[in-house]
A and B are shown apart, each in its own frame.
Chain A
Amino acid sequence: QVQLVESGGGVVQPGRSLRLSCAPSGFTFGNYAMHWVRQTPGKGLQWVSLISYDGTTEYNPDSVKGRFTISRDNSKNTLFLQMNNVRAEDTAVYYCAKERVAFSVTWSMYQWGQGTLVTVSS
């Protein structure tokens, strides 16, 4: 049974940094591309980043480009999101999500974690 458990959320001041982690289980982590998706309170979903199964390729939207970095350690079964120079508008629940097909990118989120809340506030 696939499980994804996010951690690392909390309150952070504007301009500071935070690193989120995602601990997977129930599947071979190193075989699957992974996403980060966020949801602002009471609002919709926004894609944050994608990393290939081997960590060699990543994609992210302009809203976080240059500030957020997705990475993974397949030897330690962990996905990361490094968030630098955070802004108030980065306040959201951050979900990690798994791709459906191994060794491929289908641009879909087949399984999701329960999320971790990041609040940017002074």
Chain B
Amino acid sequence: NLILTQPHSVSESPGKTVTISCTGSSASITTNYVQWYQQRPGSAPTVVIYEDNQRPSGVPDRFSGSIDYSSNSASLTISGLKTEDESHYYCQSYDSSNHVVFGGGTKLTVL
């Protein structure tokens, strides 16, 4: 079974760039697409990246996604950080049993 591991929290200053990792367990994270969701306090999640690196319309190009095959991980990179980016971020994929899997979530603090 696939397990996705994210750092519990990251922090960075406004204007800087931050990268949030999502590492797969023994199963390969690169087999199936990875999505990233942003969740602000008190709100439902919204997708910011789908199919590894695609941005939905309306998501700023400051958000980008990538896959590192060598480390079996996905990454969400946010450049030009703004205070409004302060949220929880979740990676998500699915496994060979057709089960959706979420990472544990990363709290991004912009200070």
**Which A residues are closer than 8 A to B by beta carbons?**
35, 37, 44-47, 50, 59, 61, 95, 100, 106-115
Contacts and interface: CB of A to CB of B under 8 A. Distances in A.
Interface stretch (B17-25, B65-73, B91-99): B91-99
Interface residues of B, number: 24
A47 B44 contact: no
21 contacts: A35-B100, A44-B103, A44-B105, A45-B90, A45-B92, A45-B105, A47-B100, A47-B101, A95-B45, A100-B50, A106-B33, A107-B93, A107-B100, A108-B50, A108-B51, A109-B35, A109-B37, A109-B47, A110-B50, A110-B56, A112-B45
B45 A109 contact: yes
B47 A110 contact: yes
A108 B92 contact: yes
B14 interface: no
Contacts of A110: 47, 50, 56
Interface in B33-74: 33, 35, 37, 43-47, 50-51, 56
